[in-house]
Amino acid sequence: MPRRRRHAVLGTKGGVDAKREPTPAQSVPGPRDWQALLSQDGVYGDQSFLATCHRDIATVYRLWEERRRGRVMPSRADFDPLDIPALILPGVLLIDVDAESLRFRYRLVGTRDVTRRGKDPTGLDVMQGYYGPDAERALATYGYVTATGRPLYRSDAVLDNKQIVRAEERLFLPLGADGETVDMILVFVVW
């Protein structure tokens, strides 16, 4: 039996259910959008960010890397919250990935991110609860990580809930129960 493609390119020709017209809430930017995403200052699709990122970002990346154990990505089950340093947990988010419906949903949002946003988006679709300049950038980021199975690092200036511009670093790490197909994204935020 031929092996299934590891990472479908969502919403593009040859990807998951390419004949279906996605609704605006389901539209996930494709590879051209990812090239634009990766060409932005402060966005890295490789490990070069490790030279300049916050030490907690590097710690979370190393933890993810250790949990991979030779696989493309670790699974959610590979992470025991007790193994994660207490200072890091408030900056953790878990995003459920439903490739079939082209949706991303906040499963868990750490207290640091809830404070920053001024609300808790846990349980909401990313289109309803995204935090940043625009939904398209959020979807492009999650779409890139889902389709490629690769980590992504972003360093941006973002308005908080009090309309104060703050520097923010975000690390997006793919997780998959089978070690190959993204079904969740672990996000770690430092600001």
Model confidence over 157-182: pLDDT tens digits?
Answer: 776 667 777 778 999 999 999 999 99
Question: If you average pLDDT over every residue of the chain, what do you get?
Answer: 78
Q: What is the mean pLDDT of residues 113-137?
A: 86
- On whether the CB atoms of residues 122 and 108 are closer than 8 A, the answer is yes
Model confidence over 60-75: pLDDT tens digits?
Answer: 999 999 999 999 999 9
Q: What count of other Cβ atoms lies within 10 Å of the Cβ of residue 185?
A: 25
Amino acid identity for residue 152 in this structure: L
**CA dist., res. 154 & res. 91, Å (int):** 14
pLDDT of residue 94: 96
Amino acid identity for residue 118 in this structure: G
- Residue in this structure with the two tokens 């089950």, named with its chain if needed: 77
CA 52 to chain centre: 20
pLDDT of residue 17: 28
**CA dist., res. 66 & res. 124, Å (int):** 30
> For the chain, what is the HEC assignment?
CCCCCCCCCCCCCCCCCCCCCCCCCCCCCCHHHHHHHHCCCCEECCHHHHHCCCHHHHHHHHHHHHHHCCCCCCCHHHCCHHHCCCCCHHHEEEEEEECCCCEEEEEEECHHHHHHHCCCCCCCEHHHHCCCCCHHHHHHHHHHHHHHCCCEEEEEEEECCCCCEEEEEEEEEEECCCCCCCCEEEEEEEC
**Which of 43, 8, 3, 1 is CA-nearest to residue 183?**
8
User: pTM (2 decimals)?
Assistant: 0.78
User: Could you tell me the domains of the chain?
Assistant: 31-190 (3.30.450.20)
Contacts of 84 (CB under 8 A, 6+ apart): 63, 92
Token pair listed for 138: 């959020």
How do beta strands 103-109 and 184-190 pair?
A: unpaired
Between 109 and 1, name the one with better pLDDT: 109
pLDDT of residue 21: 32
